[in-house]
Structure 1
């Protein structure tokens, strides 16, 4: 590894280089500027990688986990509020409650194009802190909403401010982690959905017992909103904007944190919006595969997250028992999300795990459709409902599958934006397939969800074959250019793998990796290896 030189001259040179790294460099990834300060080639040993990764995890992961936990809690306050009389107290009729579930995703749909640009142009840490504050303040304002128009307006604003969270987190994981590390990190913050279903249920159970001038659901809105506002201050202060601006890393560690990403072949950040990347994303068949996959899983997700407590209540339980029976749902979500990520990381493949995760929800939906809704069948109905709760493990794997197969700063942000357009569309449709009047069976919604889980399995198989075709195409390109046809994907090697092989995590393979920080799209970089 390149050794830094001591003294004031060196410090001045480092400061100058790091300032240059924050300036826009047309057509190149900004990581190039910082790497140019190194005295020779930087070799990332397994020990160095492990040490720097630990520091990154300790700073980045707590922020991601806390913010996504709050976003999930804030978004699901509506379903908890429905159990405590929101529908009756605010005189909601017909599909109005369903629209309160969908409007938040309409706002997210509207915001996605702007967010794609913001994530390329703006400092990501400060941007995240501000959006967290704005949605927390909006949730506090929901306390004063007393009818359908005011609830609809505040839910729209809540969705607009929350729209950046998941796309930002995918960008952050791409910016800080090697491909072998990304799946588990994406799963970690997404698993907060399960934590929320456990802690949120317990929190709501406690808040629902408070007697005062405010309704129980108003107390829930106010408490969650104030907690979010407080956390936003810490996010603004402690979340770094990029590896080269991270104050918690030394200059040497910044070099390692960037160099260890070389074999991702994805770059870090360019701060330059490139229209050719936009067209590349739009014409890439993979983009539309991710779009269709995420839309297909978002429809069941949107419906079940909004109507889940009402489905349990339809089994014949009272309000407080319904909240408590939602806790196992969250525990299963955590297991499926983290377990699916662990298995995908172990196999170094996403497609087989995605197919596997579709099977339990299919069984659960069939159980809810055929088992009579009687008091004696409550246990069986709950088992069916809990089997459906495996579905949250699917979304983070789709996020990672997309992220790990897309290169180029603008293309990554645009692709992520399109994915969340699809997710927003699915979450808009999902609640509208369920109607309170169709309780307890919700036949239309459950039938649609059953078809969609089967469709996901078919799309995953198609996607895996297409990605294998792209790998063959890139191998042919390398061979035609005089490079080795077969190369090792070091981005999927762990520190233990490299240590056992006695190699660095950025081992030289005859020029492979030279274009890693040139801000090229994956389709144009023959060294890029796709993961299926």
Structure 2
């Protein structure tokens, strides 16, 4: 069933009868692009493991599909949630500087901020190699190795007592932790149907909110460890690191590398059904072969560069708000350390509610990009208020409410990643460029954010919030472009399919999508090569 409204009816780019010739030429061009994939339907390009398990004749009832999803959730989703929570806690340990790590490690000047910068630089350098290894190696085993490795790094940080040691360890933390998001996107597209992916991505993004809610309280508890040979921050690093190591070993045991390799937990019949339940996705499951045409396809794909710009526009606002919120909470409201941590519970809970509501609405309406536009509007309101309302104690409550409005912007990240999992086909295209390019853009942008909130602009920081307001408006323009692009591509694919079948090029009704056989679902074609692929928006 189609995930969107009737493209031919709502598409503002639909051509009149006088443009039939030009439109036919475009459909012919679409056919030419499809033929450049050079595949034999249903045979060429299929991974050997998948070939053993695919069976398009299998019929999966709704009740059976629910049973299969529960089994998958138990082994995949549960581990993604636990891992993302561990990662959020481990990466955030440095932010608990109240414990005295600055003094004990004798950090001076910008050394403390460099401990965060070096982590992001490591992620930037290692993300492309990590994506390459994820395609070549068993996903679960490599994922487990990275989790255990960063757990060792976090635990070892308890022994660091100077800037040089902390820099080395924080850099290694970035090397191993940069595997998280690409692995999760691979797992989401590998195990879950398109209709399930919005909620799945949003659920593991909710772990950021959970970390915000409980991370501060955990740190506050460790803060009260006083008068011992081991410092309280060392206890925190050591215990969180050891927990992560144990969790990583469990992930290696409990998480199958793919639906085809779940023999320890499921029968061959169930594994075949798990493969077939994602056939209609059209994005494939796995393929370890290098394909140059996939790389070219990804680098020339407008949607990939749209996601790069979306990440750029998303990172600037979210990256600078943390310091500003501290001014509101600590200085203007005069909250104590414990009160600030208690307030973070409400902040984290609100973030979870925002993400879940956005996922529910996007799934219910099947209009992801429209929901992203709606969830950007509160941020525009907040930016205008930040620009116009003085940042002082008299307006602290109003500004705090406006800060909570900015949390709506978190829905952009989860929903945009769900679009990536649903709309990018071909393993080389997805792993080599479609995933790392947007993430790398976010990292580069985050590294440059220090120049945004400047002391000379205090206390209003009008320039910073004017830049954020521009990013919000630019995001909406990108969402509109991406929606129109997907609608147009779906329309041309339907017309190209009709022409290939010898039908009239006006045979473009989305009801004809029901007749697709998805014979090339596992042929490792990119979304632009696969004639039966339909974009979700």
**C-alpha contact (below 8 Å) 1:102/1:429 kept by paired residues:** no
Deviates more, 1:349-358 or 1:307-316: 307-316
Does residue 141 of the first structure (1) align with residue 179 of the second (2)? no
Q: 1:425 — aligned with what? A: 444
SS of 1:522's equivalent in the other structure is: coil
Unaligned runs of 5+ in 2: 1-42
2-side partners of 1:450 and 1:87: how far apart?
35
Q: 1:3 — aligned with what? A: none
**How far does residue 220 in structure 1 lie from its aligned partner after superposition?**
2.8
Does residue 457 of the first structure (1) align with residue 476 of the second (2)? yes
Deviates more, 1:115-124 or 1:419-428: 419-428
Does residue 245 of the first structure (1) align with residue 261 of the second (2)? yes
Measured at CA, do residues 65 and 205 of structure 1 come closer, stay the same or move farther in structure 2, by a change above 3 Å? same
* Residue 218 (structure 2) aligned to one of 196, 203, 213: 203
Q: 2:372 — aligned with what? A: 354
> For residues 327-342 of structure 1, what are the structure 2 equivalents within 5 Å?
327-342=345-360
> For residues 30-69 of structure 1, what are the structure 2 equivalents within 5 Å?
30=48, 32-35=50-53, 41-69=57-85
* Residue 129 (structure 2) aligned to one of 114, 122, 134: 114
2-side partners of 1:57 and 1:155: how far apart?
32
RMSD of aligned Cα (Å): 2.5
Q: 1:21 — aligned with what? A: none
Q: 1:5 — aligned with what? A: none
**C-alpha contact (below 8 Å) 1:74/1:225 kept by paired residues:** yes
**C-alpha contact (below 8 Å) 1:95/1:435 kept by paired residues:** no
SS of 1:526's equivalent in the other structure is: coil
**How far does residue 312 in structure 1 lie from its aligned partner after superposition?**
2.9
Does residue 275 of the first structure (1) align with residue 298 of the second (2)? no
**C-alpha contact (below 8 Å) 1:103/1:152 kept by paired residues:** yes
* Residue 178 (structure 2) aligned to one of 158, 163, 174: 163
* Residue 179 (structure 1) aligned to one of 194, 206, 215: 194
Does residue 343 of the first structure (1) align with residue 361 of the second (2)? yes
Normalised by the length of structure 2, the TM-score is 0.84
* Residue 303 (structure 1) aligned to one of 317, 320, 327: 320
**C-alpha contact (below 8 Å) 1:306/1:431 kept by paired residues:** no
Deviates more, 1:330-339 or 1:138-147: 138-147
SS of 1:266's equivalent in the other structure is: coil
* Residue 404 (structure 2) aligned to one of 364, 368, 386: 386
Measured at CA, do residues 43 and 176 of structure 1 come closer, stay the same or move farther in structure 2, by a change above 3 Å? same
1-side partners of 2:367 and 2:102: how far apart?
44
Q: 1:225 — aligned with what? A: 241
SS of 2:173's equivalent in the other structure is: helix
Measured at CA, do residues 409 and 488 of structure 1 come closer, stay the same or move farther in structure 2, by a change above 3 Å? farther
**C-alpha contact (below 8 Å) 1:139/1:224 kept by paired residues:** yes
**How far does residue 396 in structure 1 lie from its aligned partner after superposition?**
1.0
SS of 1:102's equivalent in the other structure is: helix
1-side partners of 2:323 and 2:95: how far apart?
5
Does residue 288 of the first structure (1) align with residue 311 of the second (2)? no
2-side partners of 1:262 and 1:72: how far apart?
33
**C-alpha contact (below 8 Å) 2:328/2:396 kept by paired residues:** no
Normalised by the length of structure 1, the TM-score is 0.85
**C-alpha contact (below 8 Å) 1:264/1:516 kept by paired residues:** yes
**How far does residue 301 in structure 1 lie from its aligned partner after superposition?**
2.9
SS of 2:435's equivalent in the other structure is: helix
Q: 1:78 — aligned with what? A: 94
2-side partners of 1:70 and 1:489: how far apart?
45
**C-alpha contact (below 8 Å) 1:103/1:428 kept by paired residues:** no
Measured at CA, do residues 101 and 302 of structure 1 come closer, stay the same or move farther in structure 2, by a change above 3 Å? farther
1-side partners of 2:376 and 2:481: how far apart?
15
SS of 1:180's equivalent in the other structure is: helix
Deviates more, 1:140-149 or 1:319-328: 140-149
**How far does residue 442 in structure 1 lie from its aligned partner after superposition?**
5.1
Q: 2:467 — aligned with what? A: 448
**How far does residue 423 in structure 1 lie from its aligned partner after superposition?**
2.4
**C-alpha contact (below 8 Å) 1:307/1:431 kept by paired residues:** no
**How far does residue 313 in structure 1 lie from its aligned partner after superposition?**
2.2
1-side partners of 2:327 and 2:265: how far apart?
46
**How far does residue 478 in structure 1 lie from its aligned partner after superposition?**
0.5
Measured at CA, do residues 522 and 299 of structure 1 come closer, stay the same or move farther in structure 2, by a change above 3 Å? same
**How far does residue 342 in structure 1 lie from its aligned partner after superposition?**
0.9
1:56-95: CA deviation from partner (whole Å, max 9, x where unpaired): 11211110000001111111222232x4444455454554
Q: 2:390 — aligned with what? A: 372
1:85-133: CA deviation from partner (whole Å, max 9, x where unpaired): 4445545455444333332221111111112211211100011111011
Does residue 527 of the first structure (1) align with residue 532 of the second (2)? yes
**C-alpha contact (below 8 Å) 1:84/1:216 kept by paired residues:** yes
**C-alpha contact (below 8 Å) 2:188/2:421 kept by paired residues:** no
2-side partners of 1:515 and 1:290: how far apart?
26
**C-alpha contact (below 8 Å) 1:191/1:334 kept by paired residues:** yes
